[in-house]
């Protein structure tokens, strides 16, 4: 018996030592918070990290996403999807900005509360590389890109206030929004996390949704992967570069498309799919525009009929196209740029530009 | 001069290292026990560039050539950090304890003893990252410790090499702590258990039955990877040799 003792004790030691792998439990919300939140929402146990890191080809030209506060973005996301925050309880931001469609809508005009119709085509939020990197005068100064097709909102907060209070969209007053948020039990823990207190104010609601919007964007396309490995040619505009040489991962048809895009489109839409080169332009949709676009807000003659220049990321997902959704597909867009450009005293494009579909 | 350079380097490393800790070494105890019935109790107060700690030790020899020991260790550090808004400061801290038991054999020779102890212990390291964000790790340690002691009427000198297997069986971590801190903990979780030697020594002046001694322990950690381990502890302690105390009383 005695001679087994060392063997048995060695074996026991082995068992003990084997039992020393770690198994940690990470939590984000307390037990009580989790219980409350899970009754109403389906949030991940550990919320997503909303930190945005741009691909090198964009950070190399001085474009940097701003820091996003995770708890505010999480709260902002819940607000983004909350239909209770509309007059008839049927519309949320996500009703017109659908994730599967790069946060756009597949209708010419979107439906707001009481089936009212918006007057413009929903903007594809996923067409932008990242809002915080070049949108919003609060984050990016006077030269920042403004929000909406007519650039009427200076900041993400102004933009959200606009959507929430617009009679065709959610049709609430900001007081009603704050009161509704206050009355929903799941917002208390989220406000606690985001602002250290469950007290709801209009400004805090806007700050939260701004953090979420500012974290949005799209920057992991095949184009980005190729651009990261290629030498750009600066074109003199802040944040913009053009990739003249062929991308090795592109087919020859795609490279031909890129060539035509660089030649005809990148001077407005940007050659690196980052910050648009022009903040607004008249691309010749109408010689006599009814919707005056930017000019309708500023009253400036040369801006009447000019609209924001959108970036074209995820463009295949975001039909229909243009501020009024007039083109049902990209073929129509290209047909327009090829042969449909209308004359206008303040036109920014040559009357006829040659385009090729394969790149977009 | 030479030998102090690594020590200085170690100091510098731990002084500039992160200030949250998931491990901090207690002192390596070298019981001055020579025969059945001998016993020691000791208390040591330690500090390193960032923590303050208390270390309590008791050992006793119930049989010839055999001894047991019990060690308890508490460590704490706290500091103030500006919050994420840049202003009002909040308090951050590290707090931990460790309780362990060991048994071993000792063999006296002319001036002292050689001994070998085998021990097991458990503890907890709790970091408060401010605004109620906590990480709380349970730790477990096995060790084998060859020990050499020397004593005469006036001096006590002990050296111990503690060969450690340290593991972190469980932990609860608030994911809202800084991403760098999460990274340290994830790395620790992935790489646990850890094997490393700790070299400890103490030098004491003896005034029957009391010894006043200086303690030093250095953990041979790889400084290249950050696990939030503290690798050095320096202390001043007082100990009582029970056999002398009772002999005195008997007189």
**A86 and A57 part of one domain:** yes
Least Cα distance to A131 among A294, A310, A261 occurs for A310
- Mean pLDDT value of segment A147-162: 97
> How far is CA A219 from each of CA A102, A248, A275, rounded to the nearest angstrom?
12, 19, 12
- Read off the pLDDT of residues B83-108 as tens digits, 9 standing for 90 and up: 566 665 678 889 999 999 999 999 99
* A231 and A281 share one domain: yes
Do residues A172 and A44 share a domain?
yes
Residue A23: inside a domain, yes or no? no
- The two structure tokens encoding residue A85: 């925050």
Report residue B233 as tokens.
Answer: 């502890």
Span A55-72, mean pLDDT?
93
Residue A328 lies in a domain: yes
Answer yes or no: are the C-beta atoms of A6 and B182 closer than 8 Å.
no
User: What integer is the mean pLDDT of A313-328?
Assistant: 95
The predicted pLDDT at position B1 comes to: 41
Question: Are both A198 and A60 inside the same structural domain?
Answer: yes
Tell me, yes or no, whether A252 and A202 share the same domain.
Answer: no
Positions of E strands within B17-154: 39-47, 52-63, 66-82, 89-108, 112-128, 134-151
The verdict on B208 touching A (C-beta cutoff 8 Å) is no
pLDDT at B226: 84
Residue A344 lies in a domain: yes
Of all residues in chain A, the one with the smallest CA distance to B140 is: A20
The separation between CA A86 and the C-alpha centre of its own chain, rounded to angstroms, equals 21
Query: Do A159 and A243 fall into the same domain?
Result: no
pLDDT tens track for B102-132 = 999 999 998 899 999 999 999 999 999 887 7
Whether residue B10 is predicted with pLDDT greater than 60 in this model: the reply is: no
| Measured distance CA(A23)–CA(B167) in Å, rounded | 11
CATH architecture of B19-250: Beta Barrel (2.40)
Can you tell me the distance from the alpha carbon of A195 to that of B189, in angstroms, rounded to the nearest whole number?
31
Task: Give the pLDDT of residue B225.
Answer: 75
Q: Is the dihedral of CA A317, A322, A328, A333 positive or negative?
A: negative
- Say yes or no: A233 and A349 in one domain: yes
Do B232 and B199 contact (CB within 8 A), yes or no?
no
Same domain, yes or no, for A114 and A182?
yes
| pLDDT averaged over every residue in chain A | 90
Residues of A with Cβ-Cβ distance to B193 under 8 angstroms: 17, 20-21
| Whether A27 and B185 lie within 8 Å, measured CB to CB | no
Lowest mean per-residue pLDDT among A7-11, A44-48, A217-221:
A7-11
Where does the pLDDT of residue B14 fall: very low under 50, low under 70, confident under 90, or very high at 90 and above?
very low
Q: Please report whether residue A69 resides in a domain.
A: yes
Q: Which of A117-126, A168-177, B19-28, B242-251 has the lowest mean pLDDT?
A: B242-251
Domain contains A131:
yes
Tell me the pairing of strands B194-207 and B52-63: unpaired
CA A297 to CA A264: how far, in whole Å? 28
**Single residue among A215, A239, A260 that ends a domain in this structure:** A215
CA A234/CA A212 separation, integer angstroms: 31
Taking only the tens place, the pLDDT of each residue in B55-83 is 999 999 999 999 999 999 999 988 776 65
**Domain hosting residue A251, numbered range:** 222-354
The CATH number assigned to the domain holding A114 equals: 1.10.760.10
CA torsion A194→A195→A201→A203, rounded to 10°?
-80
Rg for chain B, CA atoms, rounded: 20
Question: Which residue, of A184, A215, A246, is where some domain finishes?
Answer: A215
Domain count for chain A: 2
Report residue A260 as tokens. 């035509």
Q: What is the number of CB-based contacts under 8 A between chain A and chain B?
A: 58
Q: Is there a domain that residue A7 lies in?
A: no
Identify whether the C-beta of residue B69 lies closer than 8 Å to the C-beta of residue B55.
no
Is the residue at A313 inside a domain?
Answer: yes
In this structure, the number of other CB atoms found within 10 A of the CB of residue A224 comes to 20
At A181-197, the pLDDT tens digits run 999 999 999 999 999 89
Are residues A208 and A228 both part of a single domain?
Answer: no
- How do residues B151-203 score in pLDDT, each as one tens digit? 999 999 999 999 999 999 999 999 988 888 999 999 999 999 999 999 999 99
Domain coordinates in residue numbering, chain B: 19-250
Residues A91 and A178 in one domain: yes
Residue-wise pLDDT for A14-33, tens only, equals 556 556 688 899 999 988 99
- Please indicate, yes or no, if residue A10 is contained in any of the structural domains: no
The alpha carbon of residue B2 is apart from the nearest alpha carbon of chain A, in Å, by 39
pLDDT of residue B12: 44
Which residue of B131, B180, B191, B193 to mutate against A (max A Cβ within 10 Å)?
Answer: B193
What does the DSSP assignment read for B153-189? Answer: SSEEEEEEEEEEEEEEEEEEEETTS-HHHHHHHHHHH
Q: How far apart are CA B33 and CA B156, in angstroms?
A: 12
Q: What is the pLDDT of residue A10?
A: 62
- Rounded to an integer, what distance in angstroms lies between the CA atom of residue A49 and that of residue A211? 12
User: Nearest by CB to B171, which of A17, A20, A22?
Assistant: A22
Q: Are residues A138 and A238 in the same domain?
A: no
- A100 and A65 share a domain? yes
Residue, of A235 and A264, whose pLDDT is higher: A264
Cis peptide before B193 (omega within 30 of 0): yes
Of A17, A24, A193, the CB nearest to B170: A24
Where a domain ends, among A215, A234, A254? Answer: A215
């Amino acid at each position: 018996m005695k001679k087994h003792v060392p063997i048995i004790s060695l074996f026991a030691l082995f068992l003990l030592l084997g039992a020393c792998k770690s198994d940690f439990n990470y939590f984000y919300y307390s037990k009580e918070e989790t219980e409350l939140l899970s009754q109403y929402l389906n949030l991940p146990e550990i919320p997503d990290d909303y930190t945005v890191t741009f691909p090198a080809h964009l950070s190399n030209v001085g474009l940097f996403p701003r820091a996003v506060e995770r708890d505010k973005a999480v709260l902002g996301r819940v607000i983004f999807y909350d239909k209770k925050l509309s007059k008839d309880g049927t519309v949320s931001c996500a009703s017109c900005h659908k994730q599967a469609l790069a946060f756009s809508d597949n209708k010419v005009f979107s439906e707001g509360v009481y089936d009212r119709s918006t007057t413009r085509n929903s903007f594809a939020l996923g067409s932008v590389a990242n809002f915080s990197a070049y949108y919003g005068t609060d984050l990016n100064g006077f030269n920042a890109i403004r929000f909406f097709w007519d650039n009427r909102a200076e900041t993400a907060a102004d933009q959200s206030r606009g959507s929430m209070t617009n009679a065709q969209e959610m049709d609430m007053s900001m007081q009603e929004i704050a009161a509704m948020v206050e009355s929903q039990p799941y917002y208390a823990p989220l406000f606690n996390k985001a602002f250290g207190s469950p007290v709801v104010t209009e400004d805090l609601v806007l700050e939260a949704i701004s953090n979420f919007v500012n974290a949005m964007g799209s920057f992991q396309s095949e184009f980005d992967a190729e651009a990261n490995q290629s030498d750009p040619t600066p074109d003199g505009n802040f944040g913009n570069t053009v990739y003249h040489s062929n991308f090795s991962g592109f087919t020859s048809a795609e490279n031909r498309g890129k060539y035509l895009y660089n030649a005809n489109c990148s001077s407005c839409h940007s050659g690196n799919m980052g910050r648009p080169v022009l903040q607004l332009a008249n691309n010749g949709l109408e010689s006599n525009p009814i919707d005056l676009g930017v000019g309708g807000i500023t009253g400036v003659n040369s801006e009447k009929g000019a609209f924001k220049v959108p970036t074209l990321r995820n463009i295949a997902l975001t039909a229909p196209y243009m501020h009024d959704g007039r083109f049902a597909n990209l073929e129509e867009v290209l047909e327009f740029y090829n042969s449909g450009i209308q004359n206008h005293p303040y036109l920014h494009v040559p009357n006829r530009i040659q385009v090729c579909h394969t790149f977009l | 001069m030479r030998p102090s350079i690594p020590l200085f380097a170690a100091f510098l490393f731990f002084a500039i290292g992160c200030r949250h800790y998931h491990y901090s070494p207690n002192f390596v105890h070298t019981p001055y026990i020579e025969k059945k019935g001998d016993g020691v109790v000791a208390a040591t107060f330690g500090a390193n560039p960032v923590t303050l700690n208390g270390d309590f030790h008791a050992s006793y020899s119930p049989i010839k050539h055999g001894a047991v020991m019990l060690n308890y260790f508490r460590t704490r550090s706290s500091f103030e950090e500006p919050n994420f808004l840049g202003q009002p400061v909040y308090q951050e801290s590290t707090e931990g304890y460790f309780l362990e038991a060991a048994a071993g054999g000792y063999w006296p020779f002319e001036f002292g003893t050689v001994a070998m102890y085998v021990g097991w212990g458990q503890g907890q390291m709790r970091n408060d990252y401010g605004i109620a964000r906590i990480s709380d790790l349970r730790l477990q340690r096995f060790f084998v410790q060859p020990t050499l002691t020397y004593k005469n009427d006036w001096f006590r000198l002990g050296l111990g090499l503690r060969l450690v297997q340290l593991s972190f069986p469980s932990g609860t971590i608030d994911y809202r702590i800084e991403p760098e801190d999460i990274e340290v903990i994830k790395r620790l979780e992935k790489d646990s258990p850890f094997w490393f030697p700790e070299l400890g020594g103490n030098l004491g002046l003896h005034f029957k039955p009391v010894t006043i001694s200086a303690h030093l322990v250095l953990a041979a950690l790889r400084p290249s990877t950050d696990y939030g381990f503290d690798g050095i502890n320096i202390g001043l302690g007082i100990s009582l040799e029970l056999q002398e105390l009772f002999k005195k009383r008997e007189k």
